[in-house]
Chains A and B, each alone.
Chain A
């Protein structure tokens, strides 16, 4: 074990040396090693698919073996999300998913719910296979358990929103936690409830289920309400909810201190009036008249192709330096006027003239 680690370190030091950089210039060592094995990259965080399961007819579960570059990222905490990058018809697409694996697992497990017009989810459901290599990076998110675990925890999940919750459950089980746990899972039908058997078999976890399209099948009847939450666990120390916006909102109404995560894109309020200012994409030498949409959409409409990912303000792939001008956050409505600040262009719309380093 020791010699293996030393060998790894030596190999890393050689590959990262200025000499190798010079010899493999101007493309860099990764552009050569990746042709031997696509995951052999020092700079690009990638993973290989080692297992594919289709647990339900509307989801696909991928088990991923990340490369060393991923391991160099900040450690994953249960409940956080990652950016998954795949190529669909020659074009790179990045989406945000919450892994379902426990905190210290070597392998990353993603369960992807299939959306009817989801480009990436449809692609993965149809084409994911063992050996496929994907981009995997950008671990982040505040939907996590505190280092000192709460004593009594109530989890609520809707549909494929189960994944970050399952990551927390698996982590707590791994830790041999003796805290009191209740879990409410809402799905459309029993057949579409992912991880049903595994969760049911978890020791010390009270599991209650509700089905929107098979009302009689679960123990929970109708929409989530105070009674359902109380019947699972009255006065919990911490509440975690992940699912569609409506579910999150309903739970937050009863438990205002709940931690929440929602992966369904928020509906942007269409600005009632367009500022009509000038948006300058300085690096590209392009300027356009503001049409009220997000900076990302306006850049794309102008023929630019800035990097972007989730398009909903989560992944920060699209972050760019705003050199001057005011912008409004399309989700929060907050207006920011500071010069020289990094903004997420997918959820920012101009207020008057804006200059962007793009």
Chain B
């Protein structure tokens, strides 16, 4: 996937060489103009390329040990949590089991699934950790995710009408999306998406907004639908039929425990992901602005379009290090815990080029996202 991404970048770089070179871009961030000229972008891009090369050259045992430790913790939490829920008739056991299972699902989806599927550990050559084959504990089929996320979202990040992650085809998350009366329900849709997040993610590749507008028909998406159906069926059977039935008379406690664990995972991952590109200050781009984009300009767009979260080591682990969204978007295929390590350096480089580096604590960032969701429900915004 990254290769596809890099190729797309190479393509644009080539285009630049042949055609008219890209113009300088100016964005207003927090009332302050931020400009990137093609000459600056060149040097800026080179510095970031060098940083990436340094990390790639250092990949090895340490990264392998790290991801295996996380996998081990996730599997232990999962087995322990499910076992505990079998005794869920006792409230402390139910609480502990649900918490462990929720933690396991969060680790599985974020620090392991999302990151492994980005190809962050492909260099290890371990079939259990390769992007091509990894499947996660979520309703979304991983092959569809790899297309919509790794390719579309990471290549065309925050370009309105290209990046479907701007509102996921359901929400109005940018002033540049034309208002229609449907968006009056923006806060309601956002709340429902939060609660049913894994199903929202699963339906992402279906491109329902294009089906609604008559652009494509549901028949065009047959294959996608079949893929979603198979994955959702198995996930549902596992969490809501097989495990409860195995518990016999304790089925209700297992059922509610699994339901709650899935809900916690949904709300948590929604919060982290919405804080990646939607907090105040993050920028969207037009197709025209990104024509003939050089690699340096691509980096510039990734930084202006992303926001980081502050927190402790445990917080970063549970967010799959997506709390380093900026670094993640610069280098999506290096192990995520490395993003934390290079963050100070990235921030220093940004400072030298006068590029704002959006970072804040989760409650504050999320509050600005909620405000935006409500604000954009109305037509005069």
Task: Evaluate contact between B125 and A25: CB separation under 8 angstroms.
Answer: no
The complex places the Cα of A309 from the Cα of B375 at a distance, in Å, of 57
Assuming the A-B contacts A27-B135, A305-B125, are A90 and B238 also in contact, with contact meaning beta carbons closer than 8 angstroms in the complex?
A: no
* Chain B CB within 8 A of A87 CB: yes
Interface window among B2-10, B42-50, B186-194:
B2-10
The minimal Cβ–Cβ distance linking B238 to chain A, given in whole angstroms, is 5
Task: Evaluate contact between B124 and A91: CB separation under 8 angstroms.
Answer: yes
Name the interface size band of chain B: 20 to 34
The minimal Cβ–Cβ distance linking A46 to chain B, given in whole angstroms, is 12
The complex places the Cα of A25 from the Cα of B135 at a distance, in Å, of 9
The complex places the Cα of A31 from the Cα of B75 at a distance, in Å, of 8
Quick one: which of B51-106 are within 8 Å of A by CB? 59-65, 71-72, 75-76, 79
Task: Evaluate contact between A23 and B59: CB separation under 8 angstroms.
Answer: no
Task: Evaluate contact between B128 and A26: CB separation under 8 angstroms.
Answer: no
Task: Evaluate contact between A303 and B75: CB separation under 8 angstroms.
Answer: no
Given A91-B60, A91-B123, A304-B3, 15 additional A-B pairs, CB 8 A: A22-B234, A23-B242, A23-B246, A25-B235, A26-B234, A27-B75, A32-B79, A35-B75, A90-B60, A90-B62, A90-B63, A93-B125, A285-B3, A285-B4, A286-B7
The complex places the Cα of A303 from the Cα of B56 at a distance, in Å, of 12
What are 8 A-B pairs with beta-carbon distances under 8 A?
Answer: A27-B75, A31-B71, A35-B71, A87-B126, A90-B59, A90-B62, A286-B3, A307-B125
* Chain B CB within 8 A of A246 CB: no
Task: Evaluate contact between B3 and A31: CB separation under 8 angstroms.
Answer: no
* Chain B CB within 8 A of A302 CB: yes
Task: Evaluate contact between B237 and A22: CB separation under 8 angstroms.
Answer: yes
List 4 tightest A-B contacts by C-beta distance, closest first: A90-B64, A92-B125, A26-B135, A89-B60
Task: Evaluate contact between B61 and A90: CB separation under 8 angstroms.
Answer: yes
Chain A neighbourhood of B7, CB < 8 A: 285-286
Q: Which of A25, A31, A284, A305 contacts B238 (CB 8 A)?
A: A25
Interface string of A86-101 (1 = CB under 8 A from B): 0101111100000000
The complex places the Cα of A26 from the Cα of B234 at a distance, in Å, of 9
Quick one: which of A263-316 are within 8 Å of B by CB? 284-286, 302-305, 307
* Chain A CB within 8 A of B243 CB: yes
Chain B neighbourhood of A90, CB < 8 A: 59-65, 123-124
Chain B neighbourhood of A147, CB < 8 A: none
Chain A neighbourhood of B63, CB < 8 A: 90
* Chain B CB within 8 A of A19 CB: yes
Assuming the A-B contacts A87-B64, A303-B6, are A23 and B126 also in contact, with contact meaning beta carbons closer than 8 angstroms in the complex?
A: no
Chain A interfacial residues counted at CB < 8 A:
23
Task: Evaluate contact between B6 and A26: CB separation under 8 angstroms.
Answer: no
Seen from chain B, the residues whose Cβ lies within 8 Å of a Cβ on chain A are: 2-4, 6-7, 59-65, 71-72, 75-76, 79, 122-128, 135-137, 234-235, 237-238, 242-243, 246
The complex places the Cα of A31 from the Cα of B127 at a distance, in Å, of 11
CB-based nearest A residue for B137: A26
Chain B neighbourhood of A93, CB < 8 A: 125
The complex places the Cα of A256 from the Cα of B86 at a distance, in Å, of 70
The complex places the Cα of A285 from the Cα of B150 at a distance, in Å, of 13
Chain A neighbourhood of B65, CB < 8 A: 90
Task: Evaluate contact between A92 and B61: CB separation under 8 angstroms.
Answer: no
Task: Evaluate contact between B79 and A302: CB separation under 8 angstroms.
Answer: no
Chain A neighbourhood of B246, CB < 8 A: 23
Chain A neighbourhood of B235, CB < 8 A: 25
The complex places the Cα of A87 from the Cα of B124 at a distance, in Å, of 8
Interface string of A324-353 (1 = CB under 8 A from B): 000000000000000000000000000000
Chain A neighbourhood of B122, CB < 8 A: 305
CB-based nearest A residue for B333: A303
Q: Which of B3, B59, B242 contacts A284 (CB 8 A)?
A: B3
Chain B neighbourhood of A27, CB < 8 A: 75, 128, 135, 137
CB-based nearest A residue for B151: A285
The minimal Cβ–Cβ distance linking B298 to chain A, given in whole angstroms, is 17
CB-based nearest A residue for B125: A92
The complex places the Cα of A285 from the Cα of B152 at a distance, in Å, of 13
Greatest chain B CB density within 10 A among A19, A27, A93 is at: A27
Task: Evaluate contact between A302 and B3: CB separation under 8 angstroms.
Answer: yes
